[in-house]
Amino acid sequence: MRDELAHVLDRSFALGRPGRPEQVLAFFDRLVQIVADPPPVALNGRLRCTDPDDQKFIDLAMSVPGSWLVSRDRAVLKLRRRAALAAGVHIVRPDEWAPPGPA
């Protein structure tokens, strides 16, 4: 997932955004919990994303109830309501998420 973020930061749509990619990745590293392999999601309880490339993000979020998934991807955003109802997973656009304040 981190590799995907690094890839996105290098793409043209990230240009002009505040912060340099390495700053964003350092912020990411401070906030995330690295999971080697998420627990498998039962196929009958699995939300299906219309974009197979994004399924891994949905599966990981669904394996950690109450987690947050920040995305601009329409296929992911379409699952917002179902993810919230099924596992309390919050799927939001970047402009809807605010980083936690200082501890």
- Residue 82 near residue 61, CB atoms below 8 Å: no
Task: Looking at the structure, tell me whether residues 90 and 49 fall in a common domain.
Answer: yes
- 103 domain-assigned: no
Comparing 35 with 82, which gets the higher pLDDT?
A: 82
Range of the domain at 25: 1-36
pLDDT digit string, tens, across residues 48-61: 999 988 998 898 88
- Residue 87 near residue 59, CB atoms below 8 Å: no
Read off the pTM.
Answer: 0.69
CA distance 74 to 37: 25
Task: Looking at the structure, tell me whether residues 58 and 29 fall in a common domain.
Answer: no
